[in-house]
Amino acid sequence: MFTELLGQHFVHTALLAGAVVAVVSGAIGTFVVTRGASFAVHAVSELGFTGAAGALVLGVDPVAGMIAGSLLVGGVLGLLSLRGRERDSAIGAVLAFGLGVGVLFLSLYQGYATEATNLLFGSIVGVSDRQLAVLAVVAVIVVAGIAAAYRPLLFSSIDPEVAEARGVPVRALSVLTFLLLALTTAEAIQVVGVLLVLTLVITPAAAAQRLTANPATAILLSIVIALVATEGGILLSLQQPWPTSFFISAISFAAYLGARMRPWSL
């Protein structure tokens, strides 16, 4: 069955979609982890679900609603440009209210809400050619955004106080980071689902930062770990009919554990 599966169009699409999502997740993840904003990833993805539920109520495409929800929350979190102790509690407050709104949307919706609830778990085997094209376009936007503002983005992530003192537009870069994160999250949701976005955006970047202090190398490592996790996870789920997202999160976590246990760095 494994070889027959490897010949299937939907498996190729899944592997490609996984690769595209892994590259952007691994790249943006490094900036998010450097900022210490992992919790924000969770907020952005959960509120993507709220956006999808809102789209159902309005009768528009749930995926479009999810992207809009993620972007809105990403923009708000970026504008708040939160630092230090205040950040976690502020994100928690935004996240909780957003989920409450999601619950309201679900109850307002008169029909069948499976399209929104399906987003919680992702469906990598159901990616169409059109969706793959959209994923690729969004990925190009995110990678271009990172490349265009690479140095100031990194500077403001590593040391926002010094960057601000040197005249770097810290707030604008914070908004940019969170908008790029929102786009990435909206991509990753379609592969691993709302509940497991952290496994692609945070875990590989966190592992990479354990292995190297060089930011460019960290981005590369993070991308490689995310790629191995998604492609490996999809291939394993062809062998063993367990959810793909489980395998992806397991490989990604194994990489993180391995990186933590290594006493030296690259």
Partner 1 sequence: MSKTLAGYLALAAVLAAGGVALAATGTSGRPAGGCVAVVAAENAYGSIAAQIGGRHVAVTSILRDPAADPHLFTADTGTGLEVARAALVIQNGAGYDTFMGKLEDAAPSGRRVVVTVADALGIHAADANPHLWYDVPRLDRVAAAIAAGLERADPRHRPAYRAGLVRFQRRLAPLRRAVAAIRARDGGAPVAYTEAVPGYLLNAAGLRNLTPPAFARAIENGSEPTASAVADMTGLLTGHRVRALLVNTQAISPITSRIRSEAVAAGIPVVGVTETLPAGETFQAWQLRQARALTRALGR
Q: Distance (Å, rounded) from C-alpha 43 to C-alpha 62?
A: 18
Total site size for partner 1, rule CB under 8 A: 58
The answer to whether the beta carbons of residues 224 and 211 sit under 8 Å apart is no
Q: Can residue 16 be called a binding residue for partner 1 (CB under 8 A)?
A: yes
Q: For partner 1, which is the closer residue by CB, 59 or 167?
A: 59
Query: How many residues appear in the chain?
Result: 266
CB neighbours (10 Å) of residue 222? 32
Min. distance of Cβ 89 from partner 1 in angstroms? 25
Q: Can residue 10 be called a binding residue for partner 1 (CB under 8 A)?
A: yes
Among the residue ranges 5-13, 86-94, 173-181, 194-202, the one whose residues contact partner 1 (CB under 8 A): 5-13
* DSSP reduced 3-state for 165: helix
Q: Distance (Å, rounded) from C-alpha 62 to C-alpha 41?
A: 20
Q: Which of 192, 198, 238, 251 binds partner 1 (CB under 8 A)?
A: 238
Q: Distance (Å, rounded) from C-alpha 67 to C-alpha 47?
A: 9
The contact pattern for partner 1, residues 85-124, with x = CB under 8 A and - = no contact, is ------------------x--xx-xxxxxxx-xx--xxx-
Q: Can residue 60 be called a binding residue for partner 1 (CB under 8 A)?
A: no
Four-CA torsion 94, 100, 103, 105, nearest 10 degrees: -70
Nearest-5° Cα angle at 249, 45 to 175: 30
Q: By the criterion CB under 8 A, which residues form the site for partner 1? A: 1, 4-5, 7-16, 19-20, 23, 59, 103, 106-107, 109-115, 117-118, 121-123, 125-131, 136, 143, 147-148, 150-151, 216-217, 219-220, 223, 227, 234, 237-238, 241-244
